Structure 1
Amino acid sequence: MSVSTLQRRFATFWYVQPPMPADPHRVYDQVFIDGTYFNTKCLLVLADCDHVISWFWGYTEDSWAYGRLLDTIAPPLIATTDGHKGSAKAIRNTWPETKIQRCLVHVKRNIQTATGLHPTSTMGKALRRLSLELLHIDDLDQAADWTIKLQKFGQTFN
């Protein structure tokens, strides 16, 4: 592949602006943290609903790397994570008063990984249906109804 072809292919990425240093005193209502892998490196990202706040390059999603990411800002009210053990430990250590929320999309993906797209067992079908309903919860009443369904699922399938 020629250099000019590569330059054209990656030209739009030159417009991606790295985040400015985070304001260490600003308190966010909610932040989202997650990691993604690029070959042997792991990019950890800290964002709010509107923009990337900070990022950190590491080798794994361990608590040390997440700790370096999180200590750049003041503790938010809520931190949403995929449930990775490293992120949960870093949140507890760095921001002990912050509430931790699991990312519903990641919960659904984890269930889909376990059941597949077209489960054949009764239990798999029920769990898949619950995971799809989870993404459509908009208020506390719907959340309470879903929790009751989850408890019934647990009682039914033990």
Structure 2
Amino acid sequence: MPEIRPRCPLCTGEMKKNGKRNARTRWRCKNTTCGISEQTHRPDITAKRHFTYFHNHVTGIYPITECARLMKVSTRTVYRYFEPLWLIEIPNNPDKHRIHDQIFIDGTYTAAGCLLIASTPDHVLCWHWCKQETTHSYTQLLSKLAAPLCVVLDGGQGAQAAIKKLWPSTLIQRCLIHAQRVVRRYVTSRPRTEAGREIYNLALELTSRETVQQARKWAVDLHKYGLKHHDFLNEKTPLPPEINRTGKR
């Protein structure tokens, strides 16, 4: 492979090596009437070096002080090097023709807004920034993917509506952790009633079911719970006659 030689910035003629300075090669123009001498600059190599340390920093390998030590600069200089790198847009172009058996979708609220994420058990597929978890936002997220066999979500109405609109034949699975949290929200972690204690124990058993037989047994136990406490669950507190439908006396 021939050596890549720079051209003279003044007469665009060929240049030849002319020693080194500060461990960098100097070049001199072969044209005797010009004879300009300079050192070439490689901003691409510098940018690659900065991005390598930036990637190590954001992925948790090096703290900012370690980056400064390895780069032999101050921490303020490292922050200055890293400032434009935060604006690099990460590629978000998933394969629309790849069908996954199961994907997980959820939203995370940050200071910059709500970040919707679609992922598999192994890696993130795509994401979408929005203000709230709405049907439109989830539609923008899921439209980038092919219809999977099953979607696991936290139970948000916006996500369910988007899935039924885009993927009507896809199964919807409620996240077991979120199901446990809903039960704990209503009965607390120390229920006072017998029915509350039993349903909370059933909720805790959700995440320990790993086989189809165990899942069937859990469904049978839930059915038995409904039969046992049928009357208790159907109890209702009637409003006094002096309170109308609007809640005002």
**Aligned: 1:88 with 2:160:** yes
Is contact 1:19–1:53 with CA below 8 Å preserved after alignment? no
Aligned to 2:135: 63
Aligned to 2:59: 15
Match for 2:177 among 105, 118, 138?
105
Is contact 1:19–1:52 with CA below 8 Å preserved after alignment? no
Is contact 1:45–1:52 with CA below 8 Å preserved after alignment? yes
Secondary structure at 1:61's aligned position in 2? Answer: coil
Runs of 4+ with >6 A deviation: none
Secondary structure at 1:45's aligned position in 2? Answer: strand
Instruction: Quote how far apart the aligned CAs of 1:13 are.
Output: 6.6
**Change beyond 3 A, Cα 1:100–1:13:** farther
Q: Structure 2-normalised TM-score?
A: 0.56
**Change beyond 3 A, Cα 1:121–1:13:** farther
User: Highest Rg: 1 or 2?
Assistant: 2
Instruction: Quote how far apart the aligned CAs of 1:14 are.
Output: 2.5
Is contact 2:153–2:175 with CA below 8 Å preserved after alignment? yes
Amino acid in structure 2 at the alignment position of 1:149 = D
Aligned to 1:146: 218
Match for 2:191 among 119, 144, 157?
119
Is contact 2:115–2:128 with CA below 8 Å preserved after alignment? yes
Is contact 1:80–1:103 with CA below 8 Å preserved after alignment? yes
Higher RCO (C-alpha 8 Å, min separation 6): 1
Is contact 2:116–2:130 with CA below 8 Å preserved after alignment? yes
Report percent identity of matched pairs.
36
Residues 83-142 of structure 1 show CA distances to partners (whole Å, capped at 9, x for unaligned) of: 111001100101111111111111111111111111121111111100011111011111
**Change beyond 3 A, Cα 1:19–1:147:** farther
Q: Which residues in structure 2 correspond to 1:49-60 (within 5 Å)? A: 49-60=121-132
Secondary structure at 1:76's aligned position in 2? Answer: coil
Residues 18-59 of structure 1 show CA distances to partners (whole Å, capped at 9, x for unaligned) of: 464111111111000011212472111100010111111111
- d(CA) in 2 for partners of 1:138 and 1:78? 17
Secondary structure at 1:135's aligned position in 2? Answer: helix
Amino acid in structure 2 at the alignment position of 1:14 = V
Aligned residue pairs: how many? 149
Amino acid in structure 1 at the alignment position of 2:144 = T
Moved more, 27-36 or 113-122: 113-122
Match for 1:26 among 90, 98, 111?
98
**Change beyond 3 A, Cα 1:24–1:115:** same
Match for 1:132 among 197, 201, 204?
204
Amino acid in structure 1 at the alignment position of 2:208 = H
